[in-house]
Structure 1
Amino acid sequence: MTDQSTAVETEGFQRRSHREIITVMSGLMIAMLLAMLDNTIVGPALPTIVGDLGGLKHLAWVLTAYTLATAVSTPLWGKLGDLFGRKPTFLASIVLFLAGSALTGMSQNMMELIGFRGVQGLGAGGLIVGVMSILGELIPPAERGKYQGLFMAVMPLAMLGGPLIGGWITDNASWRWAFYVNLPLGAIALVTVWFTLHVPRRSTGKAKIDWWGAGTLALWASALVLLGSWAGSQYAWGSWQIIATIVVAIGGFVAFVAIERRVAEPIMPLHVFTNRNFSLAGALAFIIGLAMMGSAAYLPQFQQLVQGASATNSGLLLLPMMFPMMFASVAIGQITSRTGKVRIFPIIGSVVLVAGMVLLAQVHTDTTKLTLGLFMAVLGLGVGGLMQPSMLIAQNSVGLRDMGAAMGASTFLRTMGMSLGTAVLGTVYTTRLTHELSAKAGDAGSKLISGGAQLPPSMLHTLPKPLLDALRAAVTHGIVGVFWAGAAAGVVGLVVSFFIKDVKLVGFADEPKVEEAEKATAV
């Protein structure tokens, strides 16, 4: 693995006015917001959806279908952008996302809903990687931070706004509007990008799409997520279902690597992983996805089932984590734009993330909302401190020709962290909760969680006090395990951060030194 660490194609950047960039960014930010919002907006609507469509046993797949489709499609979208141009590819992903949104809203049964959520996710993959790739082509690395920080702030904003908007829509209209709301906003993004985005279309001759690579990637990634969801909870580790899933995951991965080494235009060029900084930034992206989804998915469980918050209030109670996350992301973007230095921030962010996870692992049934909010603020600073640097390092490690594929790979790793993190941490949570509740409440506890730990807060006031106390202790036991697992992942991120090579981000002022940069970063 080489030590090259900076992009070399600064001659590919065109000077653009601040107004031009902001105009394009308005459309890109709407698209990014929609893609991230649909991770969380459906949550408050799930009970109503199940009441309308049935299919309780498939409930988790309403969420997983979206995140998994997003993850496996990002490398393909990135490569399509490299081959056919960022603008047409991005516009196509908007159209696909809007079509998926409309079809999801019209679903008549749970299987239709899950399938159309997958279509939505395929479009969302193009939105996320398209935004990062377009930014990588519009703006040189040294100046990206001040703009990209705004996009990094969209993630926590969507995580907070999704549950609030979804809850309000479900209460005041219909759950179907949680999906229809994407249509007018997506149309605005489509028109804005259509008329304001002007980037060169790079000629690559007769393009060949790596469909076999895309298929094998989807195969092993899906098997990996299923393994994280099933193993030790739905099926025993030694069962034929788990063994078969492991075989499919390993076989699919081996086939994927073999294909990517041989095809002319791989969807995930493996040579980008020979860049040490890019590979390490990818590892950080995976950890960020795991930490974000782990905290956002399971903190509301503690707030509702232990602290007695309503569904809407639990969304508001995420504010202490989201605001510091947004602040850290934007602030680091401004600092890196001024200094051109980025390496110190992943180290600091990892330390703060571990501290936040360890603090949250200390919660108990009597923890106050104020104390929990302070712990969440620490975690938010840590996650925000990692989001921006990991993306900047990845972008600064490749040339413009590979920007789309590289951003697809980076986004794939972060989204896989979200998908796999949700599955694995969910297994940790439910396993610990189940064992603790059965131990404390016996048969009554086992009967209470027979629905798979989907415990509606509305039932709390009907429980006898001994059973309620046992439930709250079990939920706390489960959530503590989630945060200890998150702390362990953060320690891995800290170790990874120390191996990132310090580089100065390239900007317009560095353009005369392109030849020197090329020599310094040659493989």
Structure 2
Amino acid sequence: MTQRQVLESLSGLLLGMFVSILAGTVVATSLPLIISELEGDQSAYTWVVTSTLLATTVSTPLWGKFADLFNRKLLIQLSLGLFVVGSAAAGFSQDTNTLILFRVFQGIGGGGLAALSQIIMADIISPRDRGKYAGLFGGVMAVGTVGGPLLGGLVTDAFGWRWNFFIALPIAIIAIILLQSTLHLPKQPKRKVHIDYLGAILIAAGVSLLLIWVSLAGSQYEWVSTQSFVMVGGSILLLAAAIFVEIKSPEPIIPLGMFKNRTFTLAVIASIAVGVSMFGTSVFLAQYMQLARGASPTESGLLTIPMMAGLLISSTVFGGMISRRGKWKAIMVTGALLTVIGSVLLGTLQYDTAFVLVGIYMAVLGAGLGMLMQNLVLVVQNSIEVKNLGVATSAVTFFRSLGGTIGVSVLGSILGTVVAQSIKENIAALEPADQALAGKYLGSGTIPQISQLPDVLKTVVESAYGSGVGFVFLCAVPLTLVTLVAVIFIPNAQLGTLNAVQLKKQPKTGAMAVVNRARERDDANDTLIDVSTASVALPAVGLAHPTGSIPAVSTTQTADTTDTSNSSEAGTLRR
């Protein structure tokens, strides 16, 4: 592919990533109106959101595995097609049941777009050059995550809620056309493919049951209840059975051997905590702006721009810096540290905190996430075997979504408990007449509309949500510390200079096999040796010469940098 074709293909991938993120966030501000017009109840309200998150999370590792087995260009076009059909059908829904069904199709397509766009980027761009483009992906995720609710509010006010589903259709169609005309990937070699259907079913069932539990616990039933024990126990049994099946399968959906790679394992741990911060800020900051500061949905979206700006600027600037210098460790550690600091600062929020300070706190957290999110995918892609590129990339995305969904549900339950207790205590301190007024407006237990409350109750509710959201961010601080520790211990491997397609063409014998095996054992020792001077013991086999002849190679010789630099990607060999 030419440089122009690479950039055009990336445009298609970025558009695909954007619409997949937008699917889950654009309806956030218009959901009360949607459920009201379709005559749905609170359960339908929950499931319109949960169904998409569930489908996206569960399908992500499956798309990643298919990417290692089948034509990736065909797969991403299929995921875009599913997304287009699901979005169009959702926009024409006449009741909540059909809306939930078509949101599932949206989620399945979105899961493919989230995983495959990053996998294909690894096919056409080397790890060394991938940093600046990964920054663009991080920026797109920021715009989709934080800007989605703002866009949804504007579209709903101007055209009606159905256009929340239609607005992404032209973007997805443009992405399909761009990828069809500019993306050129070599065909997968023909071989007998074994699809682990049983493992896929067990993983999907186990994760689905877990996500359904965290989505409904605290609202439909108590966290500690018979339903909770049954669902958690069932999820554990299903996932344990999935692990057993994956160990035995010749083509597992998630190869458990990847967890022997220290970079992969630590990146997965860090991604879980990053998911909580990324999803949590979009949910809880919106509640803070609307319920603690009295902002409208559109104003709420505008007030979270510092968060989006911090994430977009940092991911773009530092992504480019990684590509220029080839150094990533200091940037990621700094990003993890900023995430901790940003969470602590947001933990100080009150209903009367100055907006300037709130903006600074959001920008700090956004900058930290921008330096982390896509670079976690980058270091995994740089360290994993090329045959597992798809499943490794999708696994990081999967655990980030899983952590975010579970974390937001648990923290949301904490917020509900804290807010209810605070409101109860504040009402007890009011005059008897005001207490009666509180019973009228707040007695139902539903989330109130601040603009419709008397002034005395506005202060009560705003104070409760202001301090409650702050407490939730403090609860997330231990998770950000886990991210910091995990990033610190990720091996500081150099970024390679070959893309995945080029790596697949490299022979796996002789010196290259030695270098590749050493590269894959980055968890054993991080010390680097320059292969241009190091003496390496090689097996007595021939090395493919550029001219096509096979020169003789002695049992022990100095590794030639011309042959080994490509296979190790970084021109180095770990002891």
Q: Distance in 1 between matches of 2:489 and 2:378?
A: 16
Aligned twin of 2:468? 478
| Aligned partner letter, 1:501 | P
Alpha-carbon offset, residue 516 of structure 1: 5.3
Q: Distance in 1 between matches of 2:399 and 2:441?
A: 37
Alpha-carbon offset, residue 360 of structure 1: 0.8
Aligned twin of 1:517? 515
Which residue, 229, 245, 249 being the options, matches 2:215?
Answer: 229
Aligned twin of 2:334? 348
Which residue, 97, 104, 109 being the options, matches 1:111?
Answer: 97
Which residue, 438, 455, 477 being the options, matches 1:465?
Answer: 455
Aligned twin of 2:282? 296
Alpha-carbon offset, residue 372 of structure 1: 0.7
| Aligned partner letter, 2:303 | L
Q: Distance in 2 between matches of 1:514 and 1:435?
A: 64
Q: Distance in 2 between matches of 1:360 and 1:196?
A: 44
Q: Give secondary structure in 1 for the equivalent of 2:448.
A: coil
Alpha-carbon offset, residue 258 of structure 1: 1.0
Q: Give secondary structure in 2 for the equivalent of 1:43.
A: coil
Q: Give secondary structure in 2 for the equivalent of 1:380.
A: helix
Given the superposition, is the C-alpha separation of residues 223 and 139 from structure 1 closer, same or farther in structure 2, using an over 3 Å criterion? same
Q: Distance in 1 between matches of 2:197 and 2:440?
A: 47
Q: With a CA cutoff of 8 Å and minimum separation of 6, indicate the structure with the bigger relative contact order.
A: 1
**Which has the higher mean CA deviation after the structures are superposed, 312-321 or 328-337?**
328-337
Aligned twin of 1:421? 407
Q: Distance in 2 between matches of 1:407 and 1:455?
A: 42
Aligned twin of 2:10? 25
Q: Give secondary structure in 2 for the equivalent of 1:416.
A: helix
Which residue, 32, 35, 40 being the options, matches 2:20?
Answer: 35
| Aligned partner letter, 1:193 | L
Q: Distance in 1 between matches of 2:388 and 2:357?
A: 46
Task: Tell me whether 1:100 sits opposite 2:86 in the alignment.
Answer: yes
Given the superposition, is the C-alpha separation of residues 319 and 139 from structure 1 closer, same or farther in structure 2, using an over 3 Å criterion? same
For 1:124-523, what aligned pairs fall within 5 Å after superposition? 124-203=110-189, 205-441=191-427, 448=441, 453-459=446-452, 463-508=453-498, 514-515=512-513, 517-522=515-520
Q: How many residues matched?
A: 505
Aligned twin of 2:552? none
Given the superposition, is the C-alpha separation of residues 59 and 76 from structure 1 closer, same or farther in structure 2, using an over 3 Å criterion? same
Q: Distance in 2 between matches of 1:356 and 1:170?
A: 32
| Aligned partner letter, 1:435 | Q
**Which has the higher mean CA deviation after the structures are superposed, 329-338 or 272-281?**
329-338
Contact persistence 2:134–2:375 (CA under 8 A): no
Contact persistence 1:282–1:394 (CA under 8 A): no
Alpha-carbon offset, residue 454 of structure 1: 3.0
Alpha-carbon offset, residue 446 of structure 1: 6.9
Alpha-carbon offset, residue 39 of structure 1: 1.7
* Same amino acid, percent of matched pairs: 38
Contact persistence 2:311–2:369 (CA under 8 A): yes
Alpha-carbon offset, residue 241 of structure 1: 0.3
| Aligned partner letter, 1:362 | T
With structure 1 as the length reference, what TM-score do the two structures score?
0.92
Unpaired segments ≥5 residues, structure 1: 1-15
**Which has the higher mean CA deviation after the structures are superposed, 343-352 or 20-29?**
343-352
RMSD over aligned CA atoms reads 2.1
Q: Distance in 1 between matches of 2:401 and 2:424?
A: 34
Aligned twin of 2:41? 56
Alpha-carbon offset, residue 204 of structure 1: 5.0
Map Cα deviations across residues 126-157 of structure 1 (whole Å, 9 max, x no partner): 01101010011111111111222111110111
Aligned twin of 2:551? none
Contact persistence 2:261–2:520 (CA under 8 A): no
Given the superposition, is the C-alpha separation of residues 114 and 448 from structure 1 closer, same or farther in structure 2, using an over 3 Å criterion? farther
Q: Distance in 1 between matches of 2:83 and 2:223?
A: 37
| Aligned partner letter, 1:18 | Q
| Aligned partner letter, 1:28 | L
With structure 2 as the length reference, what TM-score do the two structures score?
0.84
Alpha-carbon offset, residue 232 of structure 1: 4.6
Map Cα deviations across residues 57-96 of structure 1 (whole Å, 9 max, x no partner): 1212212211111011011111111111211111111111
Alpha-carbon offset, residue 471 of structure 1: 0.8
**Which has the higher mean CA deviation after the structures are superposed, 352-361 or 447-456?**
447-456
Alpha-carbon offset, residue 213 of structure 1: 1.7
Q: Distance in 1 between matches of 2:450 and 2:270?
A: 35
Contact persistence 2:271–2:376 (CA under 8 A): yes
Map Cα deviations across residues 314-359 of structure 1 (whole Å, 9 max, x no partner): 1011111111111111122112112222222232111111111111
Given the superposition, is the C-alpha separation of residues 450 and 59 from structure 1 closer, same or farther in structure 2, using an over 3 Å criterion? farther
Q: Give secondary structure in 2 for the equivalent of 1:441.
A: helix
**Which has the higher mean CA deviation after the structures are superposed, 473-482 or 223-232?**
223-232
Q: Distance in 1 between matches of 2:160 and 2:45?
A: 18
Contact persistence 1:430–1:453 (CA under 8 A): no
Given the superposition, is the C-alpha separation of residues 194 and 452 from structure 1 closer, same or farther in structure 2, using an over 3 Å criterion? farther
Q: Distance in 1 between matches of 2:274 and 2:323?
A: 22
Unpaired segments ≥5 residues, structure 2: 429-434, 522-575
Alpha-carbon offset, residue 274 of structure 1: 1.3
Aligned twin of 2:542? none
| Aligned partner letter, 2:107 | G
Given the superposition, is the C-alpha separation of residues 400 and 451 from structure 1 closer, same or farther in structure 2, using an over 3 Å criterion? farther
Q: Distance in 2 between matches of 1:156 and 1:392?
A: 17
